[in-house]
Structure 1
C-alpha cells in the first residue's frame, strides 16, 4: 500500500461500507467511478470524503468526520433526517482504484454517530470501535430490571404480545388509533410499518383508550391510515416480573438490596 502513495500522483481511494440495523446497506467510494475492493462493489460518490482521520495505539477511540453532498440515491436527506442511518455499522478502508486486486488498508471500524445537514450537504461523525470503551463494562446494581422485555437476558416469549392498528390522527407525540389499547402495552414500543417513518420506533409512555403518547415526536409526517405495530411493555419491577410473566428466575435486578437511603428509614436517623 505504501507504493500507492509514492510518486507525483496517487491512486488511493477511500471506500466505506455502512450497514443499518434493519439490514439495509450502502457502499460508497471517493473515486469518480465504481470500483471493487475485497469483493465488494463500491459506488462512486466523489463528493463524499473524510475530513480527517484520527488513529491511536492507546485506548482513545479512533474517529473521523465525513463531509459530502447529498448526491447518492441511497443516501437521501429524508433518511438522514429520520435517523435511519444513526448507529449504522461502518468500515472505512483505503484501496487502489487502479489495481482492484491489490491489498487494502483498514482505516476505521465502528459506527455512524451524529449526522447534521446544511443545505445540499451533510456532515457525519464516525466513531471507532474503541469508543465503546467509554461505557461501563459492568452493569450497576438497581432495584429495577436492566433487561429489555423479550431479549436474551429476559427470555420471555413474545409470541402473542404484539398488536397492529391504524393511525386515525396524530398531534405532536400523541397518536389516535382505530382500536383501544390495553394497559399491558405501556412502556412498550410502537413501530411504524408504513409511511414516512416506516421502520422507526418509539417507546410508549402513556395510554388512554385508543390514544398512545410516545417518548419521541415522529420525525416524519404520520398520515391517517398508517399501520403501526405495538409491542407489549414492562415497568421492570420485580412484582410485575413475578405476577405477570412468572419470570423471577431471569429478573436482572436487585430488588431486595438495601439502597443508599437505608439509614433514613429508622427513627433518629
Structure 2
C-alpha cells in the first residue's frame, strides 16, 4: 500500500513562497499558481523525505491547512480484504440543499445536532442530480436506482432496507429508493488516525466532527455481527454522517452489475 496526501496550505505570500523554495524537489507536486489568492497545494507520497519537513514548516509558521489522504493498494491487498470503506458519490453541489430543502419532513429539528433528527416522511430529492449514478448520498441519506436495489435484493445482501423516494417536482425520471443501512459497527480501533475538528459543536449523543487520516482499523471481533452493509459508529469527515463499510460480496455484486462508486478502501482487521 502507498499513502498519498494533498495539503492545501493558506498563508501570507512570503510564508508560502518560502515553503515552495524549501520543498522544491522534496515532494511529488507543488501547485503554486494560486499563491496570489493566499494558498498553495502540495501533493506527496508520505514516504518521501519532504513530507515531515513540510509538516514542521506548517507548524513553525502556524499556517492553516486542509489535509486529504488517499491510498493505493495492490491487487493482492484488494483480493485479501473482507470489508471495504465504500466511497459513495455525493451529487449535491450546495450542502445547504439537503433533504429538508427539497421537502422531506423531520421531527426534532430543534435539537442541537442533526443526529437527533427523525425522518417523518418519504425522502424528497432532485432526482436529476443523480445523473447516471446508481447509488448516491445526500449526507446522510443514501439513494439508489431500481437497478441497484434489485441487485442488492437478488444477491441477498444483508444490512439494509428500502423505502420509496420521490423527485421534488414530481417528474418522471425513473424510480428511486432510499436505502436505510441498519447495521452499526462498534467504535473504530484507536490505531485509526483521527483528527478532531473542534470548530464543530460536540454532541453528547454522537461522535462527530472527526476526520479519518488513515484506513479504518477494527478488531476482528467487531465484525462478528457485521452485515454486508454497515455504517461506522462515528459520524466522520466533519459532518453528521456515518460512513458505509461493506463486505466483499457487495463489491463483487456492484462490479458485476456496473454499479459504480468512487472506490473501495480495504478495512484493516486486527
TM-score bracket relative to the smaller structure: under 0.3
Report the TM-score, using the length of structure 2 for normalisation: 0.28
Q: Which has the higher helix share?
A: 2
Of structures 1 and 2, the larger Rg is shown by 1
Report the TM-score, using the length of structure 1 for normalisation: 0.28
Q: Which has the higher strand share?
A: 1
Higher relative contact order structure (alpha carbons within 8 Å, sequence separation ≥ 6): 2
